[in-house]
A and B are shown apart, each in its own frame.
Chain A
Amino acid sequence: MRQNKGVGYRIFQVFNIILMIAICLVILFPIYYMFIVSISDGVAVMTGQVTLHPVGFSLRAYRAAMKDSYFLNSYWNTIVITVSGTIVNLVMTALFAYPLSRPDFYGRKLLMRCAVFTMFFTGGMIPTYMLVTNLGLGNTYWALILPGAISVYNMIIMRTFFEGIPFDLTEAAYIDGANDVRILCSVILPLSKPIIWTMVLFYAVGHWNGFFNALLYLTDKSQYPIQLFVRNVVLSGDTLSMAMTTYNSSTEVGAEMLSESAAKYAIIIMSMLPILVVFPIVSRHFKSGVMIGAIKG
């Protein structure tokens, strides 16, 4: 064991723990703050009374959001994009990672080099945009799914994991007459559950959080994903004010008001909801998943 004696070190320990708690608070407070504002009474929010704890209780902000058809629509769109996009990602990544993990695959070095090259050298925004629109993918969800079908980084993580599976297993299955597709499906993938879940998480979060491709390729508001909705409401400030005015005027005089920031934070909190819910469950698996990815090879 490392030695823990000495007054200096004890003092350091105390400061260190205080610092760590402070870091955790700084990380969590913004999210907590948005949450308490979103459930506080509208007048209390507008007069700046809400700082450390909720004041009053009101779900008006959430009810207002639920009445906004564009919000619900974008939420559903994001679910569709995330599910279908993640499936495409997984299939494509596995189809490439597996051959590259096989030591007897002729050409793996070259393919690997080409793939890594595209990590650092890309055509850039305009040629990609022109390609995607020329392929007729504009205004379809394919434009959000296909261009990023394989993340080279994730592919390398997966390949490295596959490489860790003893080659003898593959050989044995091969001798038993299984072809490589069978081997991948019934030998390799069942042994790779941890890495598959890590990939699902990475890709799904990427789709859930994506907004820029939607901004580029989608023009119809009813197709927008949630992040683009949030961006338009909070950062460009357009749709919300309208929805708000109609909401405020529709409620009787004297009823509690809906503050603009409460409405914004309610939308933000709901856009993060899947991540906030899933996160505590899966967070302890991250370390193994990330560590496998070393670029070398």
Chain B
Amino acid sequence: MSSTEMKIRSARRSQLRDKLIRGRWLYLMALLPIIYFLVFKFGPIYGLQIAFRNFRVRRGIWGSEWVGLEYFQQYLADPSFWVLVRNTIVLGLGQIAFVFPCPIVFALLLNEVQSKSGQRIIQNISYLPHFISVVVVASMCSTFLARDGIINQMIVAVGGEAHLFMQDPGWFRPIYWLSNLWQELGWSAIIYVAALTNVDEQLYEAAVIDGANRWQQTVHVTLPAIKPTIAIMFIMAVGNIMSVSFEKVLLLQNELTYDVSDIISTFVYRKGLSGGQYSYTTAIDMFSTVTNFVMLLVANRVCRMLGESSLW
């Protein structure tokens, strides 16, 4: 090794030491958060090992014997496997297909409202449901759709027959999607609205000179301008496809709709925490976390290959 190389190395080392010394207060500050992440975020990840052990409460995590992939095999052989995966994916895919595009359309239409104060009022109203709790939203669904709820009152008033929506498996998914739409339409649109206000006015002027009408301006100027934002939101949505809003489903479901409403996480909650099958349900949960994670990576890679923005 030449002496200059060694000098560079030692210089680098002392530079690093300087950085560490100068940053000692910063490390001290970050200490508590780092402990937090180690305990509450990585702790449970470490605890995932019970998916590979036959967990017995009395023996503790480390005393329980290893069983390898037994629980994963048991899950794949379980008749409820396909039902759970299907229900989870259908809810997630429906969310992307029906709910995801709505805020984009809403933002585009809102952008066409001429009065600025009108835009602001509409937008402020549209945020409101985002801040309402999932318990209240589920309560609204269940009371409005009850036999004597307002929806059935209206159906009866126009000569129809009262229908028990909450107990009807066919209605579970639409109720889930529509209530999500009601709650998140305005909030999800914020990011698109902001992207729209950043579009360069000159682009529109140029388009007008080229003879573009309003529709053509939207297609050729506005949409390309917000495409990167849409791409990012899309990756996030795909990455979250399996993490369907667990709380909402838990509150909306009942025994009569389990066929379509039971998703992986509600199953884990019911069989795991209420039923005590810790290891088995941890394996199930881990299966969906890993799937989710892989899908996020794939979606990100695909977006990057297509030349769109990516998360990283």
Contacts and interface: CB of A to CB of B under 8 A. Distances in A.
Q: Check if A and B associate.
A: yes
Interface of A: 1-4, 6, 9, 12-13, 16-17, 19-20, 23-24, 26-28, 30-31, 33-34, 48, 51, 92, 95-96, 98-100, 102, 104-106, 111, 114-115, 118, 120-131, 135, 146-147, 149-150, 179-181, 184, 205, 208-212, 216, 227-228, 230-231, 234-235, 261, 264-265, 268, 271-272, 275, 279-280, 283-284, 286-287, 290-291, 295-296
Contact of A124 (B25, B135, B289): B289
B262 to A, nearest CB: 15
Contact of B30 (A99, A122, A286, A295): A99
A118 B126 contact: no
A296 B29 contact: no
Interface of B: 16, 19-20, 22-23, 25-30, 32-34, 36-37, 39-48, 50, 61, 106, 109-110, 112-114, 118, 120, 122, 124-129, 131-136, 138-140, 142-144, 148, 150, 153-154, 182, 185-186, 190-191, 193-194, 201, 204, 208, 213-214, 217, 232, 239, 246-247, 250-251, 265, 268-269, 272-273, 278, 281-282, 285-286, 289, 292-293, 296, 311-312
A121 B36 contact: no
Does more than half of chain A's interface fall in helix, strand or loop, or is it mixed?
A: helix
A3 B216 CA distance: 12
A284 to B, nearest CB: 7
Given A104-B19, A230-B135, A30 B33 contact: no
Contact of B273 (A98, A126, A210): A126
Contacts, number: 255
A2 B32 contact: no
B195 to A, nearest CB: 9
Nearest to B109: A16
Given A123-B48, A131-B47, A234-B142, 16 more contacts: A100-B30, A104-B19, A115-B37, A121-B289, A124-B44, A127-B46, A127-B282, A130-B61, A131-B44, A205-B131, A209-B132, A228-B135, A234-B135, A268-B139, A271-B135, A283-B124
Contacts of A28: 125, 128
